[in-house]
Structure 1
Amino acid sequence: MKLVWSPETASKAYIDTVKSCEIFNESGVAELVAAMAAGWNAGFIVETWSQGGAIATSIGLAVASRHTSGRHLCIVPDEGSRLEYVEAIGEAGFSPEVIVGDAEEAVKGLVGINFMVVDSRHKDFAGVLRLAKLSNRGAVLVCKNAYSRSASNFRWRSVVEEEGSRRLHRSVFLPVGEGLDIAHVAVGGVNYRSGKGVVSRWFKHVDQQSGELHVFRK
C-alpha cells in the first residue's frame, strides 16, 4: 500500500484553509501544505513549532487532518511555546495534540507518520527528519523556511536513506514564502535474514539478440 493522491480532498482543504487563514498576511504556505497533507490522505500529521513562529501553517495542517479524519500532533520545546500555540490555534477553532520537549527525543516515540513539517531555522531539524518513524505507506516530509536553513549542506538522501528501508522517491524546492523543501519518501520491506530494511526496485533489461524486454524485481 502507498500514499494515493486525491485532488478533490486537496482542493477542499485548500479552500477551507484560505477561509481559516484570511486574517494572516502570508504567502500561500498554509494553503499549499494543507492541500498536500489532505491530498495524500495523511492519517498522522506531525509538525514542530516554537514560540514566535507563524501559526498559519499549523492551521492548514489542522484543516487537513479534519478532511482526512487523521491525527495532528505538534512538538514544541517548552511550556511557553505550548501556551502560545494552543491559544493561537484554539482561536481558529482547532485543538491538535501537543507534546512538550526536545523534538528529536519526542519524535522517537511516534510511529506511522504520513506527513511531517519541520522548521529549517532550527538546528535539529535534520535530526528530527532522520529519526521519524514513517508509515509503511510512505510519507511526505516538508522543510519550511528553507531559505534560512541552519544547515546549508542539507541533502535529502543523507537524511532519508541513512536508514535502509527508506528511499527518496522525489524531492522539489518551491519558492513559496520563505522556501519549501519537500520530499516524497517511499518505505520498503524488511529483509528478515539480515534484520535490515531493504527496498524492492524494478529493473528493465533488453535482450540484445531477441529484442525482448525483460522486467524483474530485485
Structure 2
Amino acid sequence: MKLVWSPETASKAYIDTVKSCEVHQESSVAELISAMAAGWNAKLILETWSQGGILATSIGLAIASRHTDGRHVCIVPDELSRSQYEEAVGEAGISPEIIIGEAEEVMEGLVGIDFMVVDSRQRDFAGVLRVAKLSSRGAVLVCKNATSRNESSFRWRSVVDDGSRRLVRSVFLPVGKGLDIAHVATSGGSSSNSGKGESRWIKHVDRQSGEEYVIRK
C-alpha cells in the first residue's frame, strides 16, 4: 500500500478549514495543510506545538482528521504549554490528543505517522523528523515557518534518507512564513511515480497576498 491522493476529501477539508479559521492568523497555511492531510487520507496526524504558537494549524489538522477518521496528536514540551494549548483548542471546539514531553522521546510511542507538521523555529525540529516512525504507506512531512528556521543548512535528504525511507519529492511554498514539504516513501510501501493517473494538482490562493500556487502531487 502507499499514500493515495483524494481530491474530493481534500476539497471538503479545505472548505471546512476556511470557515473555521477566518479570524485566525496564518489561516492560509492552515487551509493548505488541512487539505493536504485530508487528501492523503492520513490516519495518524502529528504536530508539535509550544507556548505562544499559532493555533490555526491545529484547527486545520483537527478538521482533516475528522474527514479521514484519523487520530490527531499534538506534542507539547511542558505542562504550561499543555494548559495553554488545551484552553485554546477547547475554545476553538476541537480536542486533539495532547502528549507532554520532549518530541524526540515521545516519538518512540507513535508508530505509523502519515502526516506530520513541525515548527521550524523549534530548536529540535530536524531531530524530531529524523526519529519519526512513519507509516508503511509513506508520509508527508511539513516544516512551517521555514523562512525563519535556525538551521539554514537543513536538507530533507539529511533527515529522511536512511535506508528505511527515501525522499520522493519536496517543495517549498511561500505561504505564510514558508512551508517546506516532503513526500517520503518507506521500505514498507511503493514509492514509484511512474503509474498513470497518480499525479494530482492542488490550487491554493493565499487570501492575504492574493497569490495563487499550484502544487503537483
TM-score range (shorter-chain normalised) is 0.7 to 0.9
Closer, same or farther: CA 63–200 of 1 in aligned 2, 3 Å: closer
Q: TM-score, normalised by structure 2?
A: 0.86
* Cα shift at 1:27: 4.9
Deviations 1:90-134 (A, max 9, x none): 111111100001111111221000000000001100000000000
Q: Distance in 1 between matches of 2:137 and 2:74?
A: 21
Distance 1:5 1:50 in 2: 30
Q: Which residue of 2 aligns with 1:78?
A: 78
Aligned length: 194
Runs of 4+ in 1 over 4 A off after TM superposition: 199-202
**Aligned twin of 2:133:** 133
Query: How many angstroms apart in 2 are the aligned matches of 1:17 and 1:43?
Result: 18
1:181 aligns with 2:180: yes
Distance in 1 (CA, whole Å) between partners of 2:126 and 2:97 is: 22
Gapped runs of 5+ residues in structure 1?
Answer: 191-198, 203-218
User: Do the aligned partners of residues 165 and 92 (structure 1) sit closer, same or farther apart at CA in structure 2, a change above 3 Å counting?
Assistant: same
Q: What's the counterpart of residue 91 of structure 1?
A: 91
CA RMSD of aligned residues (A): 1.8
Question: Matches of 1:28 and 1:184 in 2, distance apart?
Answer: 21
2:75/2:103 contact within 8 Å kept: yes
Report the Cα offset of residue 61 of structure 1: 0.3
Identity rate, percent: 77
Report the alpha carbon displacement of residue 66 of structure 1 after superposing the two structures with TM: 0.3
Q: CA deviation at 1:201?
A: 7.4
TM-score, normalised to structure 1's length? 0.85
Deviations 1:40-68 (A, max 9, x none): 00000000000100000010000000000
Higher RCO, 1 or 2 (CA under 8 Å, sep at least 6)? 2
Residue of structure 2 equivalent to 1:172: 171
2:44 aligned partner: 44
